[in-house]
Chain A
Amino acid sequence: MNTTVWQTLIIMLVAMVFLAVFNSSSLQTWSFDLQPSPVNDVISLNAERWHILMEEVGAAGITEAIRETFSEMTGAF
Chain B
Amino acid sequence: MLFPTVDFALFFILVFAVSWFLVKLPAMRKHFLLLASYVFYGWWDWRFCGLLGLNALINYCAARCVSGAKSEGKRKLWVGIGVALNLAILATFKYLDWFMQSLSDLLIAVGLERDVPLFDLILPVGISFFTFQGISYVVDVYRRKIEAERSPFEVALYISFFPQLVAGPIVRAAEFIPQLKKPPVLTSKMAAFGMVLILVGVFKKMIVANYLATLYVDEIFFDPASQTSLDLLLGVYGYAIQIYCDFSGYSDIAIGVAALLGYRFNVNFDQPYRASSLQDFWRRWHISLSSWLRDYLYIPLGGNKGGVIKTYRNLLLTMLLGGIWHGAAWTFVIWGLIHGGVLAVERAILNGRQSAGNFATKLLGILFTFHVVCLAWIFFRSETLDTALAYIAGFGAFSAELSTVTPFILSLIVATMVFQFTPANLLQRAGDWMERAGALPRATVFVVGLLLIQWVAPNDVAPFIYFQF
A residues with a Cβ closer than 8 A to B are 1-2, 4-5, 7-16, 18-19, 22-23, 26-27, 29-30, 63, 66-67, 70, 73-75, 77
Q: How many residues of chain B get a CB closer than 8 Å to chain A's CBs?
A: 37
* Pair A75/B406 contact, Cβ less than 8 Å: yes
* Pair A1/B456 contact, Cβ less than 8 Å: no
22 residue pairs of the A-B complex, CB under 8 angstroms, read A1-B23, A2-B185, A4-B191, A5-B20, A8-B16, A11-B195, A11-B439, A11-B442, A11-B446, A16-B9, A18-B447, A22-B454, A22-B455, A23-B451, A23-B454, A23-B455, A26-B459, A66-B455, A70-B456, A73-B408, A74-B211, A74-B408
> Within the complex, which residue of A4, A16, A63, A70 is in contact with B13, where a contact is CB–CB below 8 Å?
A16
CB distance from A72 to the nearest CB of B (A): 11
B443 on the A face (CB < 8 A): yes
Which residues of the other chain, B, contact A4 by a CB distance below 8 angstroms? Answer: 186-188, 190-191
Q: Is the interface of B mostly helix, strand, loop or mixed?
A: helix
B407 on the A face (CB < 8 A): yes
B7: nearest residue on chain A (CB-CB)?
A30
> Within the complex, which residue of B185, B191, B447, B456 is in contact with A66, where a contact is CB–CB below 8 Å?
B456
B5 on the A face (CB < 8 A): yes
Q: Complex: how many Å from CA A16 to CA B442?
A: 15
Q: Complex: how many Å from CA A75 to CA B442?
A: 33
**How many A-B contacts if CB must be within 8 Å?**
85
Q: Complex: how many Å from CA A30 to CA B446?
A: 22
In the complex, chain B residues 1-28 whose Cβ is within 8 Å of any chain A Cβ: 5-7, 9-10, 12-13, 16-17, 20-21, 23
B residues with a Cβ closer than 8 A to A are 5-7, 9-10, 12-13, 16-17, 20-21, 23, 185-188, 190-191, 195, 211, 215, 260, 406-408, 411, 439, 442-443, 446-447, 450-451, 454-456, 459
Q: Complex: how many Å from CA A52 to CA B7?
A: 21
* Pair B455/A63 contact, Cβ less than 8 Å: yes
Q: Complex: how many Å from CA A60 to CA B21?
A: 35
Q: Which 4 A-B pairs have the closest CB atoms?
A: A74-B408, A30-B6, A11-B443, A5-B20
* Pair A8/B191 contact, Cβ less than 8 Å: yes
